[in-house]
């Protein structure tokens, strides 16, 4: 079953990841990233005439078809994750700590300086019955997919709704200025925040329950991104699990989860790029099941405000348009909505080899048919576990992206028709 929000009590660990990725399996000349086509918008709400205008970055590389995080290759071999970790206990286990830097070609380490990023710096105090207290920078109690450590995830890439809507990108503008790439101001959040959390786990009969309440800065990795708008993000979490047997993250059982997160963000927006404050809310419900060789998982997530809105013309950020008048930028819809879900299933053969499939869908910018974009992805994959320290994953993604409120002949749909499938191979080693 998925990882519990309580950290292990002691020990040191390190893991490394080697990835091979390629996307030009259907059309030569394109590669991958998880971002979408969107025209520039005034204040993030009204699309410009580019819906019907010319393709201003035609024949240039598409960000959706470039390999992240560098977005400059159609196929690549990467050391995606190199993580070191130090866990320990003090005062007979009443206090435990977790320190972990991350390096490699990934959106956390490569979006900021230095390229080695401390993702987890926290201490947990267990002095009050039924109320453990965690302070520092750590994963907030939210989406079940986001809570899982990367080394234990069943797929190489997360679902689109988690990658685009929950895993926050730090931006200081809605992307409206025509000659500003609006690059990220620091590392992506990695489903983390900096703050104060009260949580615990307890049993009632055959069921185990976990609760968590967190007040965070809303700044993600605050060591690198600053301390946010000054008002806290509040996150509530609950899970209930019926365990069939076993121990640890892969024990047999049925688990149901629900979470809610709300806060504010400061952003330069509109034609005058005045700094404004916008609400940001995310919530979801999910379930996971594991018994014998079978496992299944699903989650539905809703988002209101601060919706990531891809790049202009699906061009690589910083690319100059063919007429020289525009620079492609990252964009946000600060007052729009999105929702998405995924359904995943797997079957283990011979104890070490798993066959799996996942379908996920993201509906982004749903307040208007002009801004709505739909991302549908079918992932077919397999995992082979050589031992508890070494495993290999292979995934093939069939990707179908569209602007469902617009005619097929419009520019956004013409661009999204050129999105390629994605193949990725990953090797995890833990030592």
The answer, yes or no, to whether residue 42 has pLDDT greater than 90, is no
Say whether pLDDT at 52 is over 50.
Answer: no
What is the reported pLDDT for 226? 64
| CA 404 to the chain's CA centroid | 24
3-state secondary structure of 8: coil
Q: What is the pLDDT of residue 11?
A: 45
Task: Supply the pLDDT for residue 242.
Answer: 95
User: Of 316 and 21, which is predicted with more confidence?
Assistant: 316
What is the average per-residue pLDDT within 234-246? 93
Instruction: Report whether 196 contacts 166 (CB < 8 A).
Output: no
Best CA proximity match to 239, nearest among 284, 205, 193: 284
164 SS3 class: helix
Query: What is the DSSP code string of 203-262?
Result: EETTEEEEEEEEEE-S-SSHHHH--TTSSPEEEEEEEEEEEEE--STT-EEEEEEEEEEE
Note the pLDDT of residue 19.
Answer: 58
Helix (H) or strand (E) holding 194: strand 192-204
Strand partners of residue 194: 137
- In this prediction the pTM is 0.88
Residue 14 has pLDDT above 70, yes or no: no
Phi, psi torsion values for 18, nearest 5 degrees: -120, 125
How high is the pLDDT of residue 74?
78
Q: Is the pLDDT of residue 49 over 70?
A: no
At 277, which helix (H) or strand (E)? strand 274-291
CB 181 within 8 A of CB 328: yes
**pLDDT of amino acid 93:** 87
Report the pLDDT averaged over residues 301-308: 98
pLDDT at 313 exceeding the cut of 80: yes
pLDDT of 227 strictly over 70: no
- Say yes or no to pLDDT of 424 above 90: yes
Task: Kindly state the DSSP code that residue 144 receives in the 8-state scheme.
Answer: H
For the record, the structure tokens of 418 come out as 């050129």
Token code pair at residue 387: 């031992």
Q: How far apart are CA 260 and CA 285, in angstroms?
A: 9
For 154-190, what is each residue's pLDDT tens digit? 999 999 999 999 999 999 999 999 999 999 988 999 9
Element (H, E) at 146: helix 144-147
- Please give the radius of gyration of the chain, using alpha carbons only, rounded to the nearest integer: 21
- pLDDT, tens digit (0-9, with 9 covering 90-100), for 402-418: 999 999 999 999 999 99
pLDDT at 157: 95
- CATH superfamily of this structure's domain 11-430: Porin (2.40.160.10)
Average pLDDT, the chain: 87
| CA–CA dist 379, 396 (Å, integer) | 6
Burial of 108 (0-12, 13-18, 19+ CB in 10 A): buried
Among 7-16, 256-265, 270-279, 360-369, which stretch is predicted with the lowest mean pLDDT? 7-16
Find, among 35, 42, 33, the residue nearest to 333 by Cα: 42
Look at residue 323 and tell me whether its pLDDT is greater than 80.
Answer: yes
């Amino acid at each position: 079953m998925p990882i519990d929000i309580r950290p292990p009590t002691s020990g040191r660990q390190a893991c490394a990841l080697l990835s091979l990725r390629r996307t030009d399996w259907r059309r030569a000349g394109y590669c991958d990233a998880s971002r979408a086509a969107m025209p520039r918008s005034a204040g993030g709400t009204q699309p410009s005439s580019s819906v019907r205008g010319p393709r201003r970055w035609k024949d240039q590389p598409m960000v959706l078809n470039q390999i992240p995080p560098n977005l400059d290759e159609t196929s690549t071999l990467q050391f995606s994750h190199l993580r070191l970790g130090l866990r320990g206990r003090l005062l007979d286990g009443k206090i435990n700590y977790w320190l972990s830097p991350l390096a490699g070609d990934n959106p956390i380490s490569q979006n900021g300086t230095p390229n080695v990023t401390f993702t987890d710096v926290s201490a947990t105090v267990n002095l009050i019955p039924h109320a453990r207290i965690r302070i520092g920078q750590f994963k907030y109690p939210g989406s079940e997919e986001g809570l899982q450590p990367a080394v234990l995830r069943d797929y190489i890439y997360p679902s689109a709704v988690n990658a685009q809507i929950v895993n926050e990108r730090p931006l200081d503008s809605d992307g409206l200025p025509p000659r500003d790439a609006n690059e990220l101001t620091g590392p992506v959040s990695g489903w983390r925040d900096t703050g104060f959390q009260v949580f615990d786990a307890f049993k009632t009969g055959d069921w185990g329950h976990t609760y968590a309440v967190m007040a965070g800065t809303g700044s993600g990795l605050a060591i690198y991104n600053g301390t946010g708008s000054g008002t806290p993000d509040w996150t509530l979490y609950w899970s209930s699990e019926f365990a069939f047997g076993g121990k640890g993250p892969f024990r047999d059982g049925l688990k149901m989860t629900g979470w809610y997160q709300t806060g504010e963000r400061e952003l330069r927006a509109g034609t005058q790029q005045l700094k404004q404050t916008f609400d940001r809310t995310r919530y979801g419900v999910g379930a996971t099941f594991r018994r014998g060789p079978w496992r299944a998982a699903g989650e539905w997530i809703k988002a209101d405000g601060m919706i990531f809105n891809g790049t202009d013309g699906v061009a690589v950020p910083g690319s100059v348009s063919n007429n020289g008048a525009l620079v492609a930028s990252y964009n946000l819809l600060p007052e729009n909505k999105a929702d998405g879900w995924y359904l995943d299933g797997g079957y283990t053969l011979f104890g070490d080899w798993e066959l799996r499939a996942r379908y996920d869908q993201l509906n982004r910018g749903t307040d208007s048919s002009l801004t709505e974009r739909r991302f549908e992805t079918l992932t077919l994959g397999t995992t082979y576990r050589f031992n508890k320290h070494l495993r290999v994953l292979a995934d093939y993604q069939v990707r179908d992206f569209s602007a469902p409120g617009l005619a097929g002949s419009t520019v956004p749909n013409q661009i999204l028709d050129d999105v390629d499938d994605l193949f990725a191979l990953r090797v995890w080693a833990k030592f």
